[in-house]
Structure 1
Amino acid sequence: MKFNHSLQFNAVPEWTGKYIAYSNLKKLIYSLEKSSKGGNDGNEQVADEESALLTDTSRKPEEIFKLALDDELAKINEFYIEQEAQVFQEFDELILEEDEFQTSVLDDTDMDDIYERRRSSADDKMRVSRPKLKDPFAATTSESRHQFDQEVFGQHDENAENYPVDIAKSTGSLISADSGSEDFDDTEEAVNRRKTTRSRSQGDNRYSARNRSGSRTLPWGFLENQFLNEKRINLKKKATQIYVSLCELRSYQQLNKTGFTKALKKFDKTIGTKLRTWYLENCVDKTYIFIPTTEELLDEKVDKAIALYARVATSNDNKQARAELRLHLREHVVWERNTVWRDMIGLERKAHGLTTIAGGDKKIQLQGDQPTILRNGKTHWTIMGIDIPRWLHGTRAVKLYIILPIFFALLRLETLEDTAQANCLAVLVLASYLWATEAIPLFITSLLVPFLVVLLRITKYQSGDRMMAPDVANFIFGQMWNNVIMLLLGGFTLAAALSKFHIAKIMATAILSKAGTNPNAVLGMMMFVSWFLSMWISNVASPVLMFSILQPLLRTLPTGSSFAKSLILGIALSANIGGMASPIASPQNLIAIEVMDPAPTWAEWFSISIPVCFFSLVVTWAYLIVMFRPGNTVIQPIRVVKESFVFKQYFIIVVSVCTIILWCLNQQLQDILGGTGVIALIPIVLFFGTGLLTSEDFNNFLWTIVALAMGGIALGKAVSSSGLLVTIARVIESKIDGFSTFGVLIIFGALVLVCATFVSHTVAALVILPLVNSIGMSLPDGHPRILVMASALLCSAAMGLPTSGFPNVTAICMTDEVGRPYVTVIDFIKSGVPSSILCYGIIMSVGYWVMTTINY
C-alpha cells in the first residue's frame, strides 16, 4: 500500500487535517523537479505562495523544500503538544477519581466491626436494626439508607432510595433483607460457615487497591452495591478511552515520523540531493514530538493506563488488562476505518456520478407499464411492478439475444450434410461472435467450447465415424493441455522472476541512461527497450514496467507536451511490435506454433521476427518524430537504478538464459527433453522450488489467458477432427483459384489486420489461423507455414485503436499528477493506424522475403 493511502487509512478522522500533508509535499517535489529542469509553462496553475517560491531563482530546491517541511513540522508539533496536554490532564483527573473510589471502599477492619455488631444482635434473637446508623443491614427508610451511604461510603446520591444496601449477600451469608429486617442464624455451625465464607471471600476477591503509597485493600466480594458498581464501570470506560487516546497519540507520532522520512527520501531520489539524513537528525529528531523523552513519557503513560485498568477491572492482572485494552483498541480502529473508508467510497461514487452527468449522459426515469428506476446508481427494468434482473436487459443481454438464436438456427437447419460438421460450424460461429462481442468473458467462452464439443459429439474417429461422448471428452481435454500451455506458463514464470527482483527494471534504466538528452534518441531508446522487454516478459508486463520508469521524466515535461505523447505512444506501439519477437511474447504466437506443422524452432522464429521487428521499429519511430516533432524539447537524462545484483538475481539470470538457449535448441534436444513444454518446467521448478517465487506469484499468473489459449486449441482440434476445416478450405480455394501464396497472403493479411484491430489479437488468431493454415495446405505451391507465420505477426501489428491490445489500453489510461490524460483516442488513431499499415507493408515484403529465403 502506498504511504498516502496508508496515512488516510490509519489517521484519526478528527485529526485528518493535522497530519503531514504528504500529497502536497509530493506535488511540491514534482514542481521543483520540473522548475529545476525548465519544465514549467504558462499553462501551470500553482498556489501564489508556492509559485513565488518556485520562481525565486535565488533559492535552491533544498531550501524551498526545507521551508515546506519546517511549516509541516511546526504544525504537527504544535498540535501534538496541545493534544498531549489535554490527554495527560484527563489522565491525571482519572487517577484522582480512582483514588477517591478506592478510598470510599471499606477496608477489612470496617467489615469485621459490621459482623461483630450483627453477631451481637443475633444473640438477642431480635430483628436487626441499626440505631444511630451503625448497622447497614437494618436500614429500612430512604433517609437511613442515604445517611448510611454518606457515613460508610463517603458518597452522596439523591436516588439512594432506589437500590438496597445488600453487601452481605455477596459473601454467601444466609441473610435476607425483607421489610427492613432480617432473620439471622446464630448456631455454631452457621457462625463457622460465615467465618469460613468471609475469609475465603476476602482472600479470593480482594486485591491491593493501590500500588502507590497509601494503598488499601479492595474487597471485591462486597461490591454488589449498585452505586459502587456503576462507579467502577464508569472508571473502566474512562480508562479504556484514555488508553485509546494515548495509542492514537503514539500512532500520530509514528505516522508523521514515517511521513517525513518518506517525503525526504522521495525528494532526494527525485532531485538528486542528500537532504534526508541531515534534516532528520537536525530538525525532526530535535522537535518535541519526536525526541526520545517524549516517546518514553508516552510509553510510560500507556503502561500506567494499563495498570489503572487492571486495578479497576481485572484484579491487578496486567496481562489480562493489556489483552482487553488491545481488543478495545482494535474494535475502535476497525470501526473508525470502516467509517472512514465508507465515507471515502461514498465520495468516490458521488464524484463518479458527477463525472457521468458532466459527460452528458442522461438518466431518465420513466413512468408507466415499463418504467426504469434508479437504484444505487443502476437502472432496473420492471414489468407490472416486478424487477427484471439487469443481466436480462443490459447490453450484453442484447448481444446474447442476437447470437444465441443464430447458434440454435444453425443447429436446427443442418447447413451441411455431415452432422458433425454442421454442429462444428454452429459452435465455430457461436465462439467467434462471443469472442468478438465479449458478450460473456473471453475465458468463459473458451471453457464453453469443450462443453459444446462433447455435448454435440463434434469430433470423429480416424474411420470417419462420430466419437462417443466419453471418447470426445478424453480426446478434447487431452489436447487442451499440451506443450504450448506449458510454454505459456514457463514464459509467465520468467516474467514474474525478472520483474519481482527488479532485474528488468535495472537493465532497462541502465540502457535508457545511455540515451543522453536528445529527445529523438530518448524516444528511440525507449521504444527499443520496450520492444526488448516485450520479447521476454510479454507485451502485457512490458508497458507497465516502462511507464513506471518513464514517470519521473514525464513529470519534468510541460503540460500538453508533444514529446510526452510521443513517448507514451512509442512505448505502446513498440510493445505491440515486441509481441512478434519471440514465441512467448504474446498468446497469438503460441497459437500459431500449435497450428503449424512442423512447429517452428526458436531459431527459425527469431530469423524471421528480428528483421521484421527491426524495420517496424525504425519506421514507427521515424513516423512519431515526423508527427510530433519533439526535437526542441529540453529533457534530463534518465537516472540509473543504483542497485547491485545479488546471488538470487544472478541465479535468475542464469536460469532464464539457459532456458531460452534450450528452447532455441529444442529440435536438436527433442529426443532427450521431448519438447518445449518439458523445458518450461525447468524455471518453474527452480524458481518456485527454491522459494524465489511463491504460491501468490503463481496465483497471479494470467490464468484467463491460459484458459483462452486452451479454448482456442480445443476449437481448432474440433474443427480439424470434424472435417469442417477441409470443407471451408475447399470453398475458399474455389474462390481464389489461380492465386499464388503471396496473393493469398496479401488478401488474408489485410483481413487479419482489420479483424485484430477491432477485436483482441488473441481472438483473431484463434479464429483465423487454423483457416489460413488449411487454405495454405490446399494451394498448389502450398506454404502454409508462411501464411500462418505472417498472419500471426500481423495480429500483433494491429494497433490502430486504443482497444486493439493491452499496451494500447495501458497507454490510454496514463494520466499526469492532476489526472489529465497524456494521449487521446484521436492521437492513437493518428499514430496507430499509419503504423499498422507500415508494419503490414514490412511483413508483406521483408518478412515474406526472409521466409522464402530460408525455405520456411
Structure 2
Amino acid sequence: MNSSSLKFNAVSEWWDEYIAYDALKKYVYQLEKQQVGYRDAVHDLEANESTSLIQGTDEHVSTDALFIPLLDRELKKIASFYDAQEKELLEEVQGLERMVLQQEADGPDFGHQYDRQEDDDDDDDEDDDFNQALQNSEITFSRSPASRRRRSLSVGNRGGVRTHRPEWSSNRRFSLSSNEDHGDLEASIASLRSTAQGEPTGSQPSNGGQGRGVSRSPIRTAKSIASKIFSRDSNIPDTVWTAKNNYAMDIQLLFKRRITNLYLSLISLRSYVELNLTGFRKILKKYDKVTDSSLRDRYLHDNVELASPFTTASKDKLNRAVDRLIDLYARCVARGDASAAKRQLKMHQREHIAWERDTVWRQMIGNERRGEGEPGTLRTLGGTLVLEPEKGILDLQTPAGHIKLTMKQIFLLASVIIFVLLLNVQVVESVEANRCLAILVFATVMWATEAIPLFVTSIFIPLLLVTLRVIRDSDNKRLSAPDATKWIFSVMFSPTIMLLIGGFTIAAALSKTNIDRVLITRVLSLAGTRPSIVLLAFMGVACFASMWISNVAAPTLCFTLIKPILRTLPPRSKFAPCLILGIALAANIGGQSSPISSPQNLIALHEMDPQLDWSKWFAIALPVSAISIILIWLLLLVSYKPARSPDGEGDIEIKPIKPTREPFTLKQYWVCLVCLVTITLWCVEHAIESKVGDMGIIAIIPIVAFFSTGILKKDDFDQFLWTVVFLAMGGIALGKGVTSSGLLEVLDDVIRDIIDGKSLYTVVMVLSVIVLVVSTFISHTIASVLLVPIAKEVGSKMPNHPETLLIFLTALICSTGMGMPVSGFPNQQAATQEDEMGQLYLSNVDFLKNGVPASIIATMVVSTVGFLLMKVM
C-alpha cells in the first residue's frame, strides 16, 4: 500500500480523515536514521525546510515510545469521524423506515386528486401548474419527445447534477452526505401531498381556487375501472409501492433515490473502515521491518481492534443497516424481490465507484498509459513532471510551419539513404545477396542508432525480405512472395522463442509469489554489516537472480532492497555509488550464467547444431561468472574504498537486511516444484530428446502449470517483455535471410582471408575484441543477432569446425559489454538511481573508470578460463 493506492480507493471528500500514511512513513524513516546513529534532519522539499522527529530526544528512548503517540493521534481522528458518520447515517435509516410506514398507512389513493385529466385542451395548462408547484421541492417534469403525456422525473440535489432520466445514470455524482437528501425527501412529499389536495404550494397562486385536477374526467375514471377489471392481479389490492397512478410513481422514485443514496453512504463508510485498517496494518508492518521491532500485533490487538470503527459491534451495526436498506429497496422499488433489490443496489454501487475513481489521479494514470500529454512532459500521480525536450539539430520557423529536426530523424534519414543506395549499387554479384546486404546494413544502422524502437525494426525485417524477393530455396531459386512468407514466419517462431516465453513465465511466477524476495533477503541477512561483505553479497545475489528472473528484473529487485541501506548512509558516502554500480555489473554478468537469463543466450542456442544442453552450459558459465564477480568486486573495493566514512574517521556500519518472517505457503512450494522440474528437464534434454523433441516443448510446462492453476493471470501474460520476443524473432529472420539469400556464401572468401593460417586461440582473441566493442555501444541482444552468425561462419571454415565454441564465446562476451551507461538494461537502471535530494548517485565518470575495466576483465575471463573449459568439454 502507498499514498497513490490509498488515494485511488479513498472517498475524495473524506481524504483528510484517512490515516496519514505518507507522513507516518516519513517518520519511520527518520527513526531508522536515529537507530543507525545518523540524526540528520530530513529535508522537506515541498515545505523547503528541514524537519526531524527526533530532535531534542534522548538517543536511548525507544522508537516505540516515539511512534505510538503518532499512531494514537491518527486512531483518535479516525474514530471521531467514524462515530459522527455512523450516528448520522443510522438515525437517517430509522427516519426513512418511519417515512415508509407513513406512506403505506396513507395508501395509494391518498393522491387520487393528483391524476391529470386527459382533456387535451387543458393538458398544457395543468402541466404548467403542476411544474410550478414542484419547483419549491426541487422536482421538475420534462416532456418526453415521444409523447406529450409521458413524463420523466428528475429529483434535484443540491451539489449534485440534474438529470431528466428516470433511471440512475452512471455519470451521476452521488452525495455521500445525506442530510440534504433527507430534507429534500420530506419537502418533496409535502409538496406532492399539497398539490394532490389541490392546495397552493409556497407563494404560487391557486388559479383562483379552481383546484385544477381535483376531479377525474369520466373517460379517466372508466379507464381506471377497466384496467382493474381486466388486470390479472385485480384480486390483489394496490399499495403505494405497486400502484400505477402518478402520485404513487413519484413517491416510488423519490424513495428509490433516498434509499440508494443512504446505501452508498453506508457502503462508503464501511470501505472507509476497511481501508484505514489496512493502512494501520501496512504502516506497522513497515515500522517493524525498518526498526526491527515487534509493535504490529500488539498495537493492532490492544488499540486498533478496540477502537469504535474496528469493533465487531460496529461492523454488525453497519451490516444490519445495509440489510435494512436492501429490505426497504425490495419493498419500495423491487416489488418485494430481495435478490433483485440487492442486484440493483450493487449496480448503483459499481457505478458510484466508477465515478469516484474517474477523478484527477485516475485520469493521470490513463493519460500516462496512453502516452498523452505535451511533448517533453510526463504525467505522474503527483502532477506533471517537465522533462528536458530532445534537442534539435535544426529548429526553424517557416511560413509553412515549424520544422524541428532531431538526431533520431537524421539517423533515420541516413539509414533510408544508405538502404536505397545499396539497393541500386551492385556490391555483390547475386541480386538476392545484394538486396540482403542492403537489408542487413539498414537494420544494423537502425538498431545501433535506435532511430525507431528496436522491436519495430525487427518487425520490419520480414516485410523487406519478402517484398524484395530475397529468400531462395535449396536449389537457389527465388521463392515467390506467398512461399517466402510462409517460410519466413515458420522460422521466426522457433523453439527458441518458446523457450524465451517459458523463461518469462518462470520469472513472473517467482516474482508474483514473492519467492525471489524471500530467498534473496534470507541470503542477504547473512551478510552482516561490513561494507565489503555486503557489497559481495549483493553482487552475488544480483548475478544469481539474473539467471532466473532475467537481468532486466533482477537489478530492479535489488535496487529496491538496498533502499533501506542507502537511506541510513552518511551523506557523501562512497558506499552508495559503489553498491549501485556493483549490482548493475553483476546483473550483466548474470546474463551469461544460464540459457534463459538473456535473449543473446537463446539466440546463440538457436544457432548451435547440435544445441548445448543446460548441464554443459552451467559447467562452463558458472565458473566464468563466479571468477568475474570476484575480480570486479576487488576492482570496486580498490576504486571506491567504500568502507571509509566521508570524514575519514573510522569505517561506516551498514544496516543489516532483515529476512521476511512469513513462512512458505503451499502456493510458493508449488511454484518451486514446477520450476525445479522444468530446469531439471532442460538440463537432461539431450537424454530425452526422442520424447520431447526440443527444450521449447519443455517450456510449455510452466506456462500450463502456472496459468491453469491461477498463479498467473491474463494480465501477467500481457506484461511479458513482448518487445524482446519480437526483437529475437526479427534477429532470427535476418539470420535466416542472410543464409538463404547466399550473402553468407559471398562472405566466405573474406572470412577465409582473415582466419587463414591463424590458430583457434588467435581467432578467439580477435573475435572477443570485436564482440566487446560492439556490445558496449549497442544492445547486447542486437550484438548477438549480428555477431553470432559471423562466429558460426568463421567456425565452419576452420579445421575441426569449432562453430559451437565460437558461438558460445560470442554469447558470453555479449553480456560483458558494460562500460557505458547505455550498455545493457542494468546499467541504464543504475544510471537513473537518485538520492533523497534528487541527485544521481552515478556519473559517466563512474562507468568509464570502473565499467570499462570491468568489461575488459570479464572478457578476458571468458576468453581464457571459458575457452579452456570449452576445450575440456
What residue in structure 2 maps to residue 224 of structure 1? 246
Deviates more, 1:675-684 or 1:787-796: 675-684
1:614 shift after superposition = 2.1
- Residue identity in the other structure for 2:246: E
1:232 shift after superposition = 6.5
Structural mapping, 1:82-101, within 5 Å: 82-85=84-87, 87=89
Q: Aligned to 1:641, what secondary structure does the other structure show?
A: coil
Structural mapping, 1:598-617, within 5 Å: 598-617=610-629
What residue in structure 2 maps to residue 619 of structure 1? 631
Distance 1:268 1:836 in 2: 41
What residue in structure 2 maps to residue 369 of structure 1? 399
1:408 is the counterpart of 2:438: no
1:264 is the counterpart of 2:284: yes
Q: Aligned to 1:830, what secondary structure does the other structure show?
A: helix
Relative distance call for 1:828 and 1:95 in structure 2 (3 A) is farther
What residue in structure 1 maps to residue 807 of structure 2? 788
1:543 shift after superposition = 2.0
- Residue identity in the other structure for 1:430: F
Distance 2:784 2:543 in 1: 21
1:553 is the counterpart of 2:565: yes
Deviations 1:635-692 (A, max 9, x none): 2332223344455545544554454444344444445544433444454455556665
Deviates more, 1:510-519 or 1:842-851: 842-851
1:754 is the counterpart of 2:773: yes
Distance 1:612 1:806 in 2: 21
Asked if the contact 2:436/2:470 (under 8 Å) is kept, the reply is yes
1:521 is the counterpart of 2:533: yes
Match of 1:79 among 75, 78, 81: 81
What residue in structure 2 maps to residue 4 of structure 1? 3
TM-score (norm 1): 0.79
What residue in structure 1 maps to residue 479 of structure 2? 467
What residue in structure 2 maps to residue 181 of structure 1? none
Q: Aligned to 2:428, what secondary structure does the other structure show?
A: coil
* Aligned-pair identity (%): 40
What residue in structure 1 maps to residue 239 of structure 2? 206
TM-score (norm 2): 0.78
- Residue identity in the other structure for 1:81: D
Relative distance call for 1:827 and 1:89 in structure 2 (3 A) is farther
1:219 shift after superposition = 8.7
What residue in structure 1 maps to residue 23 of structure 2? 24
What residue in structure 1 maps to residue 648 of structure 2? none
Q: Aligned to 2:478, what secondary structure does the other structure show?
A: coil
Asked if the contact 1:530/1:571 (under 8 Å) is kept, the reply is yes
Asked if the contact 1:578/1:613 (under 8 Å) is kept, the reply is yes
What residue in structure 1 maps to residue 468 of structure 2? 456
Asked if the contact 1:40/1:558 (under 8 Å) is kept, the reply is no
1:338 shift after superposition = 0.6
Deviates more, 1:770-779 or 1:518-527: 770-779
What residue in structure 2 maps to residue 159 of structure 1? 204
Structural mapping, 1:139-150, within 5 Å: none
Asked if the contact 2:41/2:52 (under 8 Å) is kept, the reply is no
1:720 shift after superposition = 1.7
Asked if the contact 1:733/1:778 (under 8 Å) is kept, the reply is yes
Match of 2:866 among 847, 851, 854: 847
Asked if the contact 2:819/2:855 (under 8 Å) is kept, the reply is yes
Q: Aligned to 2:855, what secondary structure does the other structure show?
A: helix
Q: Aligned to 1:417, what secondary structure does the other structure show?
A: coil
- Residue identity in the other structure for 1:159: Q
Deviates more, 1:678-687 or 1:827-836: 678-687
1:492 is the counterpart of 2:514: no
Asked if the contact 2:28/2:287 (under 8 Å) is kept, the reply is yes
| Greater per-residue helix proportion | 1
Distance 2:225 2:753 in 1: 117
1:174 is the counterpart of 2:218: yes
Asked if the contact 2:432/2:470 (under 8 Å) is kept, the reply is yes
Asked if the contact 1:38/1:634 (under 8 Å) is kept, the reply is no
What residue in structure 1 maps to residue 35 of structure 2? 36
Asked if the contact 1:104/1:154 (under 8 Å) is kept, the reply is no
What residue in structure 2 maps to residue 294 of structure 1? 314
Structural mapping, 1:333-482, within 5 Å: 333-341=353-361, 352=378, 359=388, 369-372=399-402, 397-482=409-494
Relative distance call for 1:220 and 1:165 in structure 2 (3 A) is farther
Asked if the contact 1:741/1:781 (under 8 Å) is kept, the reply is no
Distance 2:224 2:461 in 1: 89
Relative distance call for 1:48 and 1:56 in structure 2 (3 A) is farther
- Residue identity in the other structure for 1:166: G
1:812 is the counterpart of 2:836: no
Distance 1:288 1:66 in 2: 18
Distance 1:430 1:371 in 2: 31
1:255 is the counterpart of 2:267: no
Distance 1:394 1:361 in 2: 7
Distance 1:224 1:104 in 2: 15
Deviates more, 1:590-599 or 1:256-265: 590-599
Relative distance call for 1:284 and 1:819 in structure 2 (3 A) is farther
What residue in structure 2 maps to residue 637 of structure 1? 656
1:538 shift after superposition = 2.5
Deviations 1:314-360 (A, max 9, x none): 56666555444443343333222112435756999798489866858
Distance 1:66 1:114 in 2: 63
Match of 2:853 among 830, 834, 843: 834
Distance 1:666 1:191 in 2: 84
Q: Aligned to 2:526, what secondary structure does the other structure show?
A: helix
Asked if the contact 2:378/2:387 (under 8 Å) is kept, the reply is no
Relative distance call for 1:674 and 1:246 in structure 2 (3 A) is closer
Q: Aligned to 1:721, what secondary structure does the other structure show?
A: helix
Deviates more, 1:357-366 or 1:324-333: 357-366
1:168 shift after superposition = 6.0
Asked if the contact 1:167/1:224 (under 8 Å) is kept, the reply is no
The size of the alignment, in residue pairs, is: 780
Distance 1:153 1:100 in 2: 21
Q: Aligned to 1:804, what secondary structure does the other structure show?
A: coil
Distance 1:268 1:306 in 2: 42
1:822 shift after superposition = 4.2
Asked if the contact 1:53/1:64 (under 8 Å) is kept, the reply is no
1:502 shift after superposition = 3.5
Q: What is the root-mean-square deviation in Å for CA atoms of aligned residues?
A: 4.3
Q: Aligned to 2:306, what secondary structure does the other structure show?
A: coil
Distance 1:599 1:357 in 2: 50
Distance 1:29 1:508 in 2: 23
Deviates more, 1:642-651 or 1:530-539: 642-651
Unaligned runs of 5+ in 1: 116-135, 177-183, 208-217, 373-380, 382-389
- Residue identity in the other structure for 1:565: P
- Residue identity in the other structure for 2:474: Q
- Residue identity in the other structure for 2:213: D
Distance 1:64 1:836 in 2: 49
Relative distance call for 1:498 and 1:316 in structure 2 (3 A) is closer
- Whichever of the two has the greater Rg, that structure is 1
Deviations 1:122-160 (A, max 9, x none): xxxxxxxxxxxxxx9xx9xx99xx9x9599478744436
- Residue identity in the other structure for 2:424: R
Asked if the contact 1:41/1:559 (under 8 Å) is kept, the reply is no
Relative distance call for 1:252 and 1:833 in structure 2 (3 A) is same
1:798 shift after superposition = 0.7
Distance 1:307 1:747 in 2: 83
Asked if the contact 1:523/1:570 (under 8 Å) is kept, the reply is yes
What residue in structure 1 maps to residue 166 of structure 2? none
